[in-house]
Amino acid sequence: MRINEVRALGAEEMKKQLESAHEELFTVRRRLATKQLANHREIPRLKKKIARIKTILKQRELGVRQD
């Protein structure tokens, strides 16, 4: 998910996306521990997605202008 796509979401939708990303990260980490994960790049991708969403939520909370 690109940053512009995240910014277009509403607050409730962003919180749902954040929750689902955390659940997916948990699942991927479990698959990694059991040697069932085929693509190891999933973990950094999900971490980046979570960071993007949290950043936008914090910016909105602080009232920072988003270009």
Please report the pLDDT score of residue 64 as a whole number: 82
Residue extents of the structural domains in the chain:
3-60
Separation CA 38–CA 20 (nearest Å):
20
Please report the pLDDT score of residue 38 as a whole number: 92
| CATH architecture, domain defined by 3-60 | Orthogonal Bundle (1.10)
What string of pLDDT tens digits covers the 67 residues of the chain?
788 888 899 999 999 999 999 999 999 999 999 999 999 999 999 999 999 999 999 999 998 877 6
Phi and psi, residue 36, nearest 5°: -110, 0
CB contact at 8 A, 21 and 15: no
Separation CA 43–CA 40 (nearest Å):
6
pTM of the model: 0.87
